[in-house]
């Protein structure tokens, strides 16, 4: 049971690690790394959904009768693009935060807002 479904355990482990980092880390860049881990775990979840044991790549060929399901893989290509866009935007925001505040630590940010 545990070993058969090991891919899902990996997904859960990655997801929780990522989520924990997002919540606990005060450094904005590290938060983003956590967010990326969190998203990536979902990508792996989708990809392993599409795998059919013993199935080949979904390209029509003679002598092959079982194919993996390509649809989840295609969906995840889209989701990866979305993830990259999110990370890029977030990093751009971090750069501007750093220019405006001079720090990327959450606690210091809040302190500097209180000061003025």
Partner 1 sequence: MLSQLPILQVVVPLLAAPACLLLEKSRLVWIFTVLVCGLSLSISMLLLHQVYQHGTMSYGLGGWDAPWGIEYRIDLLSAYVMLVVSGIATLVVVAAGTGLEREIPQEKQTFFYVTYLLCLAGLLGIVATGDIFNVFVFLEISSLATYALIGYGKDRRALWASYQYLIVGTIGATFILIGIGFLYSLTGTLNMQDLAARIPDAAGSRTASTAFVFIVVGVCLKLALFPLHLWLPNAYAYAPSLVTAFLAATATKVAVYLLIRLHFSVFGEQFASSVLPLHGILLTLGLAGMFVASLVAIFQPNIKRLFAYSSIAQIGYMIIGIGFGTALGLQATLLHLFNHALMKGALFLALAAVVYRFGSADISAFRGLGRRMPWTMAAIVIGGLSLIGMPLTVGFVSKWYLILAAIEAGMWPIALLVVTGSILAVVYVWRLVEAAYFQHAENELPEGLVGSGRLEAPLTLLVPIWLLVLVNIYLGIDTRLTVGTSGAVASALLGGGQ
Token pair for residue 104? 């990327």
Q: Which of residues 14-53 bind partner 1 (CB under 8 A)?
A: 19, 22, 28, 31, 35, 38-39, 42, 45-46, 49
CB of 37 to partner 1, least distance (A): 11
Residue whose structure tokens are 């750093």: 98
- The nearer residue to partner 1, 10 or 22, going by C-beta atoms, is 22
Token pair for residue 73? 């893989």
Using CB under 8 A, pick the residue from 33, 67, 68, 94 that binds partner 1.
94
Q: Give residues with Cβ within 8 angstroms of 104, minimum separation 6.
A: 27, 28, 29, 94, 97, 98
Interface with partner 1, residue 93, by CB under 8 A: yes
Tally of CA atoms within 13 A in the half-sphere of 88 that contains its CB: 6
CB of 13 to partner 1, least distance (A): 15
The backbone torsions φ and ψ at residue 67, rounded to the nearest 5 degrees and listed phi first, read: -120, 150
Q: Where are the beta strands (DSSP E) in the chain?
A: none
Residues that bind partner 1 (CB under 8 A): 19, 22, 28, 31, 35, 38-39, 42, 45-46, 49, 71-72, 75, 78-79, 82, 85-86, 89-90, 93-94, 96-97, 100-101, 109, 113
């Amino acid at each position: 049971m545990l070993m058969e479904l090991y891919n899902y355990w990996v997904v859960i482990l990655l997801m929780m690690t990522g989520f924990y980092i997002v919540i606990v880390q005060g450094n904005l860049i590290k938060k983003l790394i956590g967010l990326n881990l969190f998203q990536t775990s979902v990508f792996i979840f989708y990809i392993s959904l599409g795998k059919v044991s013993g199935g080949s790549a979904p390209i029509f060929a003679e002598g092959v009768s079982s194919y993996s399901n390509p649809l989840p893989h295609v969906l995840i290509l889209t989701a990866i693009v979305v993830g990259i866009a999110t990370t890029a935007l977030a990093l751009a925001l971090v750069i501007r935060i750093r220019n405006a505040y001079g720090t990327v630590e959450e606690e210091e940010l809040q302190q500097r807002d209180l000061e003025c």
